[in-house]
Amino acid sequence: MKYFLMRWGRDEYHPLIVSLWNTKEVLYLVNRSGNVASHDGCAEWVDRAINLVKPYAERLTLRGDTDFSLTRHFDRWSEGADFIFGMDASPGLVERAEAVAKADWTALERNAKYVVKTESREKPLNVKEPIVVEREFKNVKLMSEWVTKIRYRPGQCAKTYDLVILKKNLSVEKGEKVLFDDIRYFFYITSRTDLTPAEVVESANQRCDQENVIEQLKNGVNAMRIPVNDLLSNWAYMVIAALAWNLKSWFAMMMPDREKGRVMLKMEFRRFLNNIIRLPCQIIRQGRQIVYRLMSYNPWMSDFLKTWEVIRQFSTA
């Protein structure tokens, strides 16, 4: 779940997007007035998403930031799906975190963002750091991260859930002097008891990948250009344009080569257009048949033809 603000003339809109993380499909795109709260009306669309996906998924996990941490719905949502939501660092939660014994904290080792397939390149020289020190700018450095979990029951819940606490040890420096150490806490509430605290943090951070979906809706399929007059008409335009993004995901899932399909799921929409859609083609009518003669070749051409054959077999079945 994600939200953002955009402007059309003197009107502002605050769309809500509910999407699938693994396939990047947009399940629901809801246009709202720009003055609504971030979580306004989202519970209804979360319920719809659960009902839509649950029959086809072995396990369903809801993820969202602190704005979607609606505790009054947790017990009901937990009956049909798992969830991982961020929680605001309220004074009460910070007090609970500070009460955790030192022996109960575990150092957080984050996984590498990607695997080097060839040879590791030498890390470039950090030219910014000496300037920050020389000019005595305020500099915040991450020294270490620690995680733990406790059992916690929100005030509007009848059930108890795992509360994962991430503690960041920051060093605030100015020039070559250390001013003070800053401890900050981040909280994640979850019904996933099968995950370690580190895995919960990693899964919660992966929700940020939806920013890429929003970027593709804005600049890929131009769903956020809002060219018409009012909220409902712009809403219809957004949904229609977002279907083009979903078509890319559906095409990728139909590809016989599953590895190529995963690459296409992450592909930008403009690259998809150039490799799959905008193919120069000569149409010839001869011998009571129509021949489509492709006039160029790219590395995706064979995958396009194989997937087209799969789709054709489905249409004749």
pLDDT of residue 1 exceeding 70: no
The predicted pLDDT at position 191 comes to 94
Q: What is the arithmetic mean of pLDDT over 205-215?
A: 87
Structural domain boundaries of the chain?
2-218, 220-316
Question: In terms of Cα–Cα distance, which of 212, 236, 214 is closest to 226?
Answer: 236
Dist. CA 256–CA 260, nearest whole Å: 8
- CB count, 10 Å around CB of 73? 18
DSSP string, 237-303: HHHHHHHHHHHHHHHHHH-SSHHHHHHHHTS-HHHHIIIII---EEEEEETTEEEEEE----TTHHH
pLDDT tens digit string along 216-238?
A: 998 999 888 778 878 888 899 99
pLDDT tens digit string along 269-297?
A: 999 999 999 989 899 998 889 998 988 88
The predicted pLDDT at position 3 comes to 53
What is the pTM for the complete model shown?
0.83
Mean pLDDT computed over every residue of the chain: 88
| Residue 251, token pair as written in the block | 């095409």
